[in-house]
């Protein structure tokens, strides 16, 4: 991977990370403003609780995504970004553009998904 590609992915990952962190921070502030929990209407309380549960799951997914982005940025610094963790083969640029946090080449990812499907169906 050339320096131009490394710079592109570094900027893209950093920008994506900032966007996710900002979104998480905004959601924390909005959740603190929610006052339906103290509502007398049990339906409002249940609805509020459901919304909070869904948002908590989404927040957890975003936090995991930030960890994956951090991992990708670390790999960019140590020169291992863009290489399959399973085979050591380069991950195609098109795949990295589509999924900048990809750690497996297409073949390894397909193999992994097939094994997962077999495991789940048994």
**Segment 15-69, tens digit of pLDDT:** 999 999 988 877 765 665 555 556 667 877 788 788 888 888 888 899 999 999 9
pLDDT value of residue 28: 65
Percent of the chain at pLDDT exceeding 90 = 58
pLDDT value of residue 99: 95
pTM of the model: 0.77
User: What burial class does residue 12 get, using C-beta atoms within 10 Å of its C-beta: 0-12 exposed, 13-18 middle, 19+ buried?
Assistant: middle
Per-residue pLDDT at 94 exceeds 90: yes
CATH level 2 (architecture), domain 3-121: Up-down Bundle (1.20)
* 37 touches 45 (CB < 8 A): yes
Per-residue pLDDT at 71 exceeds 80: yes
pLDDT value of residue 39: 62
pLDDT value of residue 23: 84
Average pLDDT over residues 96-116: 93
Q: What are phi and psi for residue 113, nearest 5 degrees?
A: -65, -35
């Amino acid at each position: 991977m050339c320096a131009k590609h490394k710079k592109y992915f570094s900027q893209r990952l950093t920008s994506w990370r900032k966007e996710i962190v900002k979104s998480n921070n905004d959601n924390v502030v909005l959740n603190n403003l929610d006052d339906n929990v103290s509502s007398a209407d049990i339906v409002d309380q249940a609805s509020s609780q459901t919304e909070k549960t869904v948002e908590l799951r989404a927040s957890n997914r975003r936090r995991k995504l930030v960890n994956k982005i951090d991992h990708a940025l670390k790999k960019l610094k140590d020169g291992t970004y863009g290489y399959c963790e399973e085979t050591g083969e380069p991950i195609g640029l098109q795949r990295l553009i589509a999924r900048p946090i990809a750690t497996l080449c297409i073949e390894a990812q397909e193999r992994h998904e097939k094994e997962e499907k077999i495991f789940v169906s048994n």
